[in-house]
Chains A and B, each alone.
Chain A
């Protein structure tokens, strides 16, 4: 858990067109593309032209949200020779696509000024990332505001684009480290972290993963994984259905084409066939919509298995089997015994649990329940009678010596036959998984 595992995040070139963002309200309003005004449509159309033009550089352009798209840079680099050559090509392509269409009332490039003072101007390179090169954006006309960034994962690439940087291969973690924690987009979490002296992503990333859930909750886990470079995208950053809306406003399918024959050397026919559709799916839904499991060591179901974006076998140098098989099996005290739960809840919904007198059930300093649970309510739903429960087992032994932090897991069975895996967090219960 401490050694940084191969995160498998794809190296992405992110293109941000600040003038072509569609205001948040409009972009969230739904996937039909009819909710925002004509200006929004026009901006979308212009952005669609950019995406369309970029598909000549690389067939796998991913429209993340209006105004922002990414493309995996590895493939085009093989094709064009160097990353610089790809950047030059992209710069030129974007400029040409934007100049080809008459500009509408320019949208204000608002709200995204870099937290570290990085501006859209590519010369203002922020310190802290020694090896990072400048990525110059297009220079002509309206396209001057366009920002490019290269890094592993969407989140890091977006930060890189703010500063106009190319983060060298494998140095994304180092690049992320000096950024303040408020770039994680959760002010409440950032506030807590700063008060604990964990003011940067690097400091936050150094907190052992096992401590994060208990101290910072589900949102903390998410942010921590991003800070460690294990996850590549903030929830809510991607606007689902952007690709479909582009197709709708352009009135034609985006001409995306396959161009890499023999990409899947050595794979079986089934693997090859699956690989083709996974590429198609990533192109359609986004890189991080197509996930494959990786087993790791850890105590809880979420620690022991994580999902990473699928990447073509040719992109992953070492054989796939080395990465995805053989989970590390050191002794994990407090590990959950089998069988594993069929559903691992994403949002960690809150749980109320009461004893016969109606008092909330908690865990004592000695690791015992304060009372026998009689009923349980998940996320404010109606109460369900509890029929059986386990003794709580500690998540992290050393915390039991300090009376304040009591972190434990508990299995509970309710009258409807459902088995629950609960976890306490500062006296509050949450659902971690369901034996569905």
Chain B
């Protein structure tokens, strides 16, 4: 299913966006270290898994968002918008779509027409065909889909898995949650076939993502 990027075709199809017409969406430096090309390749699906996957997805989305891309979420009705702002998402270009479970695919598909980045938490049992259609749509539009959670039915070019997570700052009856140290393993196809491991603060005490 993984096709070499059809740059020529894409460039003709993709309408201009504020960010750029290049094939990569920018990533914040701590995230870029996990990405085989140092940025998010347009037209691909990236899966974020493990505990803290929603936070990781926000940290990944922060780069393009800060650079002017619109970001839409589907299935993340409980998104902590303050946390999203903390990670660096531009709230001016964030839209939270609350679709009924039966309508998530339609919502995501329509959204892909107008935004560079769709953060998607699909139902647990995604029909393979629906996932394929959506992935093809992303490829066609030159957008990036970030799938949050274990969704093996969803074809992804890259998986970012939080393997170990530990909160710091809270003790027995004292302190507060301050920062979380995580190990993220990036693994995928093509140039990403060799896993890359990265220690991150997700979030650091500032609310942002940082290399640990």
Asked whether A417 and B167 contact (CB < 8 A) given A270-B69, A293-B96, A342-B83, the answer is yes
Give the residue of B53, B86, B91, B165 whose beta carbon is less than 8 angstroms from that of A324: B91
Size of the chain B interface, CB-CB below 8 angstroms? 63
Asked whether A273 and B17 contact (CB < 8 A) given A278-B114, A346-B78, A413-B170, the answer is yes
Q: Does A343 lie within 8 Å of B54, measured CB to CB?
A: yes
CB-defined interface of A382-415 with B at 8 Å, one 1/0 digit per residue? 0000001111000000000000000000010100
Smallest Cβ-Cβ distance to A388: which chain B residue = B170
Contacts of B179 in A (CB 8 A): 339
Interface residues on A, range: 35 or more
Q: Which residues of chain A from 70 to 118 have any CB-CB distance to chain B below 8 Å in the complex? A: none
Does B97 make an interface contact (CB < 8 A)? yes
- 14 additional A-B residue pairs with CB within 8 Å, beyond A280-B110, A292-B96, A388-B170: A285-B100, A307-B81, A320-B92, A338-B207, A339-B203, A340-B80, A340-B86, A340-B207, A341-B80, A390-B173, A390-B177, A411-B177, A435-B177, A436-B54
CB-defined interface of B97-134 with A at 8 Å, one 1/0 digit per residue? 11110110011001101111000000000000000000
Smallest Cβ-Cβ distance to A293: which chain B residue = B81
Contacts of B84 in A (CB 8 A): 293
Name B's interface SS: mixed
Q: What is the bound-complex CA distance between A341 and B58, given in angstroms? A: 12
Give the residue of A270, A288, A310 whose beta carbon is less than 8 angstroms from that of B17: A270
Q: Does B170 lie within 8 Å of A293, measured CB to CB?
A: no
Q: Does A273 lie within 8 Å of B15, measured CB to CB?
A: yes
Smallest Cβ-Cβ distance to A269: which chain B residue = B16
Asked whether A269 and B103 contact (CB < 8 A) given A291-B95, A321-B92, the answer is no
CB-defined interface of A422-436 with B at 8 Å, one 1/0 digit per residue? 000000000001011
Does B94 make an interface contact (CB < 8 A)? yes
What are 16 pairs between A and B in contact, CB < 8 Å?
A31-B102, A240-B102, A241-B100, A244-B103, A268-B18, A274-B70, A284-B107, A285-B97, A290-B95, A292-B95, A293-B91, A339-B203, A343-B54, A390-B174, A435-B167, A435-B177
Q: Does A369 lie within 8 Å of B54, measured CB to CB?
A: no
CB B212 to nearest CB in A, in angstroms, measures 15
Residues of B within 8 A of A (CB): 15-19, 51-55, 58, 68-70, 77-86, 91-100, 102-103, 106-107, 110-111, 113-116, 165-167, 170-180, 203-207
Contacts of A291 in B (CB 8 A): 95-98
Q: Does A274 lie within 8 Å of B95, measured CB to CB?
A: yes
Q: What is the bound-complex CA distance between A201 and B8, given in angstroms? A: 59
Q: What is the bound-complex CA distance between A307 and B98, given in angstroms? A: 11
CB B106 to nearest CB in A, in angstroms, measures 7
Asked whether A301 and B176 contact (CB < 8 A) given A273-B114, A291-B95, the answer is no
Give the residue of B51, B93, B177, B206 whose beta carbon is less than 8 angstroms from that of A413: B177
